Chain A
């Protein structure tokens, strides 16, 4: 079946540091890949997505590239802010729009 593996958190960074959160996946066929973010006390929000190999999703300074050869979809941001503190989930859809999530990575950004 489909599965997603994320790096464990928490990840603690200073403001303006570079962020990478690793995500790898196992899936049959050609899944779509997503990053969702969950701010404290709020619901999950779609951050970015990519639907085919070599696509790059981007939003709010975050980027991730769909790498089929390494089955990866790593999340990056060049300069994090305190307001980016949240839990980040990597996910994929197979057939039927069923989302399979990773376990989430908590990011803490300090001044």
Chain B
């Protein structure tokens, strides 16, 4: 069974440029998560989807971040415009719908903003 797929694995951009990250969850997983992981820190939840609905986006900085999960499968996280402080690893995870089910993580996208 394929795991969570993320692309690109690495991205280097200049500040004020837009950037997008893509995630394909494990087949059959209804719940999808985007996390932000700063260097030396644990991941922090940005947004959680149940199918195509964003059910928890309280930690998403909506002035520059947006996300979508069309058709309840793949998801895209976008930053526009990027700032120096956005340099981090962006992790995608998925799980089955039941509460407290294991979350499976992708390898992440490492973003560097110059």
Chain A interface (Cβ < 8 Å from any Cβ of B)? 4, 32, 36, 41-46, 49, 51, 89, 91, 93, 96-99, 101-104
Contacts and interface: CB of A to CB of B under 8 A. Distances in A.
Majority DSSP secondary structure for residues of A touching B: strand
B28 interface: no
B25 interface: no
A98 B106 CA distance: 17
9 contacts: A43-B91, A43-B108, A44-B93, A49-B102, A98-B48, A99-B43, A101-B42, A103-B41, A104-B40
Interface of B: 3-4, 31, 40-45, 48, 55-56, 91, 93, 95, 99-108
Contact of A97 (B4, B31, B91): B31
A91 B93 CA distance: 15
Nearest to A95: B99
B18 to A, nearest CB: 25
